Homo-oligomer: A and B are copies of this chain.
Amino acid sequence: MAQPQSLICKGCWQNMHVPIALRGPLSVPFRIAGLRPSRMNPNTCTLCELMFKRVMKATKITIDATILFADLRSYTELSQSMSAASMGGMLDVFYDECAGAIWDHDGLLNKTIGDAVMAVFNFPIRQADHARQALLAAHEIQRRVRARKAEAGLDFGVGIGIHCGELSFGEFGRSHRDLTAIGTVVNTAARLQGAAAPGEILATEAVRERVGELMQGSVGQPTSLKGFDSPIMLYRA
């Protein structure tokens, strides 16, 4: 069930206590000033996205956050036999369902690259239970994709990886500024996604500890991941 769209930017409200109107007649002066709903999350504004430095008084901040990676499986294989138009249609469905699920849980759809999506939970909208919200979004993505798959007769599955902890969030690059998150937490989440089977959600110990009953009974499996010296405990969520 989709959340109603917010009338003011939740990010600016939480971080600066400034009400930026996103919708309705009060939004007109903001739109003229170039402030619109962000494409990364329609309940935040382009100020959150484009003027991170001005808002946060730093180019990069260290935050505790949750990262979710989801990707369409068999995309490389399919791209060799399917037409670009069919592949495009499949991506549209995938991006839209991921966006809906992520935004329902106040996450930021930070990146889409080819067959993968990366989301950040806990910025710009703050959430005490960001790991839990990310996991709920992950289940929602799997549910939505299964429904669309059955409906459209399309054959695809989605693999999801989730990890949480301290990471660096902000603007990277000077000439090409880009708002994103980096650090081991991000790389680990990406590797988990790579290790997930179609339809599966893999999470770390750190996530399991924070989501309470949602992952009760899930048994860890020590798994070697590329680029990591020692095996990491992975949990099916």
Contacts and interface: CB of A to CB of B under 8 A. Distances in A.
B39 A176 contact: yes
A187 B76 contact: yes
A100 B176 CA distance: 9
Contacts of A229: 80
A103 B88 CA distance: 27
Contact of A76 (B79, B98, B103, B227): B227
A98 B84 CA distance: 28
Contacts of A91: 172-173, 182
B84 A182 contact: yes
A178 interface: yes
B176 A40 contact: yes
Contact of A87 (B95, B103, B168): B168
Task: Name the interface size band of chain A.
Answer: 35 or more
Interface in A26-76: 34, 39-40, 42, 60, 62, 75-76
Given A118-B113, A226-B76, A92 B187 contact: no
A2 to B, nearest CB: 10
Contacts of A173: 91-92, 95-96, 99, 112
A178 to B, nearest CB: 5
A190 to B, nearest CB: 7
Interface string A115-137: 00010000000000000000000
A199 B211 CA distance: 43
19 contacts: A76-B187, A76-B228, A77-B227, A79-B184, A80-B184, A80-B229, A84-B166, A84-B168, A87-B182, A88-B168, A91-B182, A95-B172, A95-B175, A96-B174, A100-B175, A109-B176, A112-B172, A112-B180, A114-B190
